[in-house]
Structure formats: structure tokens, C-alpha cells
Amino acid sequence: MPKYDYIIIGAGASGLLLADALGSDDFFKNKKILLLDKLDKTQNDRTWCFWEQERGPFDEILSKSWPNIRFEGEKINQKSDLSPFQYKMLRGFDFYQYYLERISTYSNVQFIQERIDSTLEHNTHVEVIGEKHTYETKYVFDSRFDYKKLLLQSKYPVLQQHFLGWFVKTDKPVFDSKTATFMDFAIPQRGNTRFMYVLPLSENEGLLEYTLFSEHPLEKEEYENAIKDYLDSKLDTTSYEITEVEQGNIPMTCFDFSKENTTRVLKIGIAGGWAKASTGYTFYSSTKKVKQLVEFLKSGRSLSKFSRKTRFWFYDLLFLDVLYKNNHLGRQVFESLFKNRSPQLVLKFLHEETTLNEELKVMWACPKMPFVKALFNRLFRLS
């Protein structure tokens, strides 16, 4: 049975970033590390977007970046200079190729394509049981996610950020290539929180994603019809070619994923609760979590001690409580934020990098009564 110090299950964003962080750090140079995934990671299966100030570690593999963002609601339509931030787009294939090549240069890191069926934890090690082989390791970082566990509990609300996106090429210029549409709520809400997300690649190429924060996904045709209507009514074009299609579903919940962590097994990525519960943004959060995890591993403490709740967890919980009871209020909440506060402050808050004083300013911009009710209900439930 092959033996390792660390095994990472899943070569998505969190798995690859962790493998690279361990492989490039001299502290772990004598540790034997294995990265496993059922796929060969040659698929362009997703697009990540995030914002950061000026240059960053992923700039050389970005597909596009934008200096401006646009927000549209029922009563506002504003385009904002995002400085000092840039809104950035990274395609899955470029990320996988870049990081798999990097980890191939580390003598102590190995990548194997194999589906993992289960893990079996013992006092001194963990068996990782795959489709073809069984591996032994001291510690496991597992990114496999099971939606069913969320739905079997009722303590925390579970919404979904679900979407379908088209990469389109139009016959005429219809996009502002310097401006990403962060959220366009000026579309029929139908009792939910629904918006269009538009990422222009040029004046006649772009990604349009019809996105919902709601409890249940839609039939595929409903997403497609919404994108068709948007192209026709908002971008004034019916002549276009669909070059790629993306579809996704990200859990929005404050469920305590850390309960699944043990001394030797740690859930990472979406499975570890690394997605931002109130928005579904995962990539930038994962980069921060990986840095924290690497430093934590150097301390030698049990993996069960890694995760901890912050005040932002409680903010997200109140927001999800509001949307779970009144899903149509999403547009009002986000419109109030972008109408009354700068996009820089809103994005800084969503990155969980604000001071308490800044957070109070953000909260004061939101509709008061739904959050007051959610606060009292939640305090009653927690007591």
C-alpha cells in the first residue's frame, strides 16, 4: 500500500492551491504528498471571478479583467470605477494546466487520476480507498461534497446559487468591454432573487449567466429563455452564436461543515464551507483558507481544531434567514447596498476584510425590518 504524509482528494481550486502551497514551502519538503482526482483536469468546466487590488498571483493566466462594474436594479442603473480593485476572470482549463505544471516540478508531490470511493480512519493513519488502489496517509484533505447532508438538517437554511451561462459571439458590438455587469436585477423576479451576470470579453463576445439565489433549481429551458430575452431586450440583438455553455450550483448555507472534520481528515473547498455563504463566491475565499491552513499545519495541532466561526458567519446567517423566508427581497437588499454605499466598500465587506465600523455602515444601508426580525428569530433559536 503506497504511503504518504498528506493526501488531497480533488484537484479543483482548493485542492490544487493546497498542493502547490505545500509543495512550494520548504517546511514540507520532506513530506510525501498525493493529489487525487477522478478527472484528468483537461476540461474547461468552470469560470471563477474575483476582485483584488492591482496585480495578483493569477494575473498571468487571467482570461480578462475589468476596471469597472455595473449594477442595475429596479430604481438604479449605475456604472462605477472599481479602483483600486479590478474585477478578474479565470477559466478552469487555464488554472488546471498552470497548477498541474507547477506541482509536477515538486519532487515530493504526485498527481494520480483515480476516483476515490471512501476513507477509513485509524488511530495512526487513514486509508484512502480508490477505484483501483488503496493508499495510506497520515492526513487527508477531502473536497468531495454531498448535498444530501445539508438537506437532512433544519437548523440552518439552505439556498442554492444556481445558474446557466452562455458564451456568445454577436454579429454587432453590444458589450462594453471595460465593464462587467456584477448584477442586473432589472429582469422579472418571479418571487425569487434573480439577476443577469454579464462578463464582456470584447465588444461582440461575452458570458451571460442567468443566476438565482433560491431554494430550488429551474428547468434548463427557463434559464435559456431568460438569456434569450436579455439578449433581445437589453442588448438589442437576436443574431448571435453560442460558443460554450456553463451550468453550476453552489450551496448557500451557514451549516457547520467543521463537524465532519476529525484529527486526521479535513474537509476543504465547498465541502469544508469555504464558499461565501451569502454570495456563493468560493475562489478568493479558498486562496485565503489555503494560506491559513498551511500555517495551521505547521503548528502540529489536530485538524479538528482548524475551523472557527467569525462575525461574518453570523452576518451571512441573517442574510440567508431573510432570503429563505422572503426570497424576493434579494433585489431590494442588494439595490439598497449599491445605492447607498460605494461598490468598493460593498466588495470589501463581501471579502470579509472590513472593520466593525465599516460593517455597521453596510448594515445601516440595508432594509431594516427584515434583518431585525431575522436577528430576533435567530437569537431565540440559538438560546
Q: Encode 132-160 in three state secondary structure.
A: CCEEEEEEEEECCCCHHHHHCCCCCCEEE
Digits of tens for pLDDT over the chain (383 positions)? 789 999 999 999 999 999 999 999 999 999 999 999 999 999 999 999 999 987 899 999 999 999 999 999 999 999 999 999 999 999 999 999 999 999 999 999 999 999 999 999 999 999 999 999 999 999 999 999 988 888 888 889 999 999 999 999 999 999 999 999 999 999 999 999 999 999 999 999 999 999 999 999 999 999 999 999 999 999 999 999 999 999 999 999 999 998 889 999 999 999 999 999 999 899 999 999 999 999 999 999 999 999 889 999 999 999 999 999 999 999 999 999 999 999 999 999 999 999 999 999 999 999 999 999 999 988 876 54
Amino acid found at 335: E
Q: Which residues on neighbouring strands pair with residue 211, listed in sequence order?
A: 163, 195
Q: DSSP class of residue 104?
A: T
CA distances from 79 to 179, 330, 349, 350 (A): 8, 20, 19, 19
pTM of the full predicted structure? 0.94
Task: Give CA 269 to chain center in angstroms.
Answer: 9
- Biggest CA–CA distance in the chain, Å, is 64
CA 48/CA 284 separation, integer angstroms:
9
Give residue 148's pLDDT: 85
Give residue 382's pLDDT: 57
Q: How many residues does the chain have?
A: 383
Of 379, 366, 250, nearest to 319 by C-alpha is 366
Contact 164, 220 (CB under 8 A): yes
Contact 33, 25 (CB under 8 A): no
Give residue 11's pLDDT: 97
Give residue 122's pLDDT: 96
Of 338, 341, 329, 328, nearest to 367 by C-alpha is 329
Of 39, 5, 15, 95, nearest to 272 by C-alpha is 15
Sign of CA dihedral 346, 287, 92, 98: positive
Of 13, 3, 106, 111, nearest to 57 by C-alpha is 13
Q: Which residues on neighbouring strands pair with residue 89, listed in sequence order?
A: 49, 64
